[in-house]
Structure 1
C-alpha cells in the first residue's frame, strides 16, 4: 500500500496549496490547465513544484477508481487523522466539537466540513468504523476545506464522550423528535454536537450517554432534513 495520496480537482488542489500544510511530491496537469492556471496568484506555489503535463484521458491510470479529477492532481504524503490521545491533550483549548456517529456518505461529510469552516468550527470527530476512510475523497468532497480542520478518528465513541464530559462539555444530540430547539445550546460554553448516520440516526448506546437532545423546528409537511442540511442550520444557530 502506497504511503502517498493523490488529491484531485481544481478546488481541492487550490485549497491544499493555499493552506500549505502538505509537502507536494509532484503535480499532474493537462496542457490546457497548465496555461490556464500558471499565472494565477492562488496557484503560484503549485507551479514551483515538479510538474508533469499529461493527456486528460491518461489521468485515471493514477487512481484506483475513476474520479472527477478535472485535469489536475497533486501527490502528497498520505495524511493521518488525529487520534483520541491528540484530542484529549488539546481538550482544554476546545469549546465546540462536532461528532459524526458513523456517517458514511462522503458527500454529506464533505458538506458538513464546508459548513463547519464557514461558521468557525475547528474540531471534528469521526468513528473509525462505518465512516470515511479515504482522505483524498474527503478533500475533494469538501472542496479542500478539510485542510482547515482538526479531524480525530475514534475507535470507541461512547468511551471518548465519557472522557471529555469531565472537561465541562455538554453532550448534545441532534434528533428531529427532541423538544429543545438547537439554539438552546447557546447557553452552554462547551458543546459536543453529535450527528447521527443517514437513516438510522444516533446509535442508542451513544444516545444514552448524552446530556440532552435538540431539534430543528421544521414544517410538518417535511418529515426530516438531510444530515448535512441539519448540520449547517445547527452551526448557524450556534454561531449566532
Structure 2
C-alpha cells in the first residue's frame, strides 16, 4: 500500500479538493434546459398547424382555402417551389438553413427544406357532401400516417370526400399532411359525431356502404351495386366496429390467395378504391 492511500498525502488531498470543487461548481451552475423540438404532428400552440415537405407546401400554396401565416425555407427549396422573391409572398417568409427547420420538426421529419404555419382546414358537415359517386369512410382509424396515405389514394382515384368521426380520429397535422403528399388540399374532409347515423344518411343519399372485412361473405369485386359507393374501412387489428358492421349495406373481403392474408388499412383502401372506380366507370 502506498503512502498516498495510507496517510492521505498531498496527492490524495489534491484529488479530494478537485472533487469538492466539481460538486460545488455543479451545484452553483444554472441548469441548462434544451428546448425540445416540437413533434411534427403538433402545432405551435396557437391553433395553427405546421406543414412541411415540397409537395405538401406546394399544394397548400395553391389552395385558395388555405390561410398561410408564415414560411421557413431554404434557398434550394424556394427554387424548387418556383418562388423567386419570398418578399412578394402575402405572408412572412424567411430564408433559413435546414437545421433551423430541424429544430422545429425534429431531425426525423423529411421537411425537404420548407415549413409553413397555417390555419387548419375546417372539416365540413355531412350535409355539405356534393354529388360525388365515391367517398371513403374511416371507422376510428387513428394513425395519422395511415389516414394521410388513405387521403392520397382517395384523391388519386377521384373520391370526393373522406368521412371520419370527430372522436378517435387524428386531427390535421404535419405528419398527416406529409403522408398525404398534398392530397389534403384536394378533397373534402367531413366529420360526423355518430358513424352509424352518418351511414344511414349515406343510404338515404343513394350510396351503397361497403365495409371491408377479412371475413366478408363475398369478394369485393362481386359486391358492388348501384351508382354511388362509400367504402368503409376500420382500424388495423380491430377492424370495423360491431355497430358499423351491422349498419353497412354490404360486407366484403379482398381476395388474397397469398401467404399473407391482410393488408395495411391504407393499402387496402387503395385496392378497394381501384376496384370501386372500375365499377363506377363501367356504369
TM-score, length-scaled by structure 1:
0.86
Q: How do residues 159-238 of structure 1 correspond to structure 2 at under 5 angstroms?
A: 159-238=197-276
Give structure 1 regions of 4+ aligned residues with deviation exceeding 4 angstroms: 43-47, 60-66
- Higher Rg of the two aligned structures: 2
* Partner residue of 1:10 out of 30, 33, 54: 54
SS of residue in 1 equivalent to 2:127: helix
Q: 1:167 to 1:46 in 2, by over 3 A?
A: farther
Contact 2:65 2:121 in 1 (8 A): no
- Within 2, Cα distance between the matches of 1:124 and 1:46? 33
Q: Which residue of 1 aligns with 2:127?
A: 88
SS of residue in 2 equivalent to 1:132: coil
- Within 2, Cα distance between the matches of 1:228 and 1:5? 23
Which range moves more in the overlay, 149-158 or 17-26?
17-26
Q: Which residue of 1 aligns with 2:80?
A: 37
SS of residue in 2 equivalent to 1:28: strand
- Tell me if 1:48 matches 2:88: yes
Q: 1:37 to 1:134 in 2, by over 3 A?
A: same
SS of residue in 1 equivalent to 2:129: helix
- Within 1, Cα distance between the matches of 2:187 and 2:223? 22
Q: 1:147 to 1:74 in 2, by over 3 A?
A: same
> What is the aligned-residue RMSD (CA, Å)?
2.4
Contact 1:17 1:45 in 2 (8 A): no
SS of residue in 2 equivalent to 1:120: coil
Q: Which residue of 1 aligns with 2:111?
A: 69
What is the aligned length?
232
Give CA deviations for 1:62-120 in whole Å, capped at 9, x if unaligned: 459973322211222232222xxx322435x2322210001112222121111111111
TM-score, length-scaled by structure 2:
0.74
